A = this chain, B = another copy of it.
């Protein structure tokens, strides 16, 4: 373990929901690669990764999305906008592709791991679309947590945002046709020196209010 333990806490204390970005700064490719790779490695239920993640650098598209997010300036001022789109269903075909991926990755016959696929299919067989969307969105929030923590450790700023119209985002990004719906979004980039919120003390529940150790 090379990571000094206190570095994690320092990073989490450094981060804040950035209000204003330095529009002259762009995230370096190397940092973006690490950010996305950590998100790709994020855990999810059964390992299904039931989401697709849009990394939107394009200014025109972000300008188009901005009114659908209450015109929050971070949408366009940040270096990129990350859209976590949850699957609205998990088809048996998707599960089958996943099982094939397991077999290929681990160099075994698909038949050897098919039992796991059957098990997954049986547990989700009576899920409604709403249940799929809720379940898959929660998995996307794990990935969001990983994105925010990795960003903090890389000293990349981020703003997680729930203030948007999923319906309008879905329409603009043509998500419905892809069996997806916008679960949560996050801007990433570098804070503006003029964002005074970076100087505000972080407000959190005390340990004794948040945790109960039994």
By a beta-carbon cutoff of 8 Å, the part of chain A in contact with chain B is: 1-9, 11-13, 15, 17, 30-31, 34, 36-38, 40-43, 45, 47, 49, 52-58, 61, 98, 101-102, 105-106, 134, 137-139, 141-146, 148-150, 153-155, 160, 162, 184, 200-205, 207, 210-214
Q: Is the interface of A mostly helix, strand, loop or mixed?
A: helix
A2 and B8 contact, CB distance less than 8 A: no
Whole-angstrom distance from the CB of A39 to the nearest CB of chain B? Answer: 8
A53 and B212 contact, CB distance less than 8 A: yes
A58 and B214 contact, CB distance less than 8 A: yes
Residues of B within 8 A of A98 (CB): 203
20 additional A-B pairs beyond A2-B4, A6-B34, A49-B205, beta carbons within 8 Å, are A1-B154, A2-B7, A5-B30, A8-B154, A9-B41, A12-B38, A12-B41, A40-B207, A42-B145, A55-B213, A56-B214, A98-B203, A102-B203, A105-B201, A105-B202, A106-B200, A138-B184, A141-B142, A149-B149, A149-B150
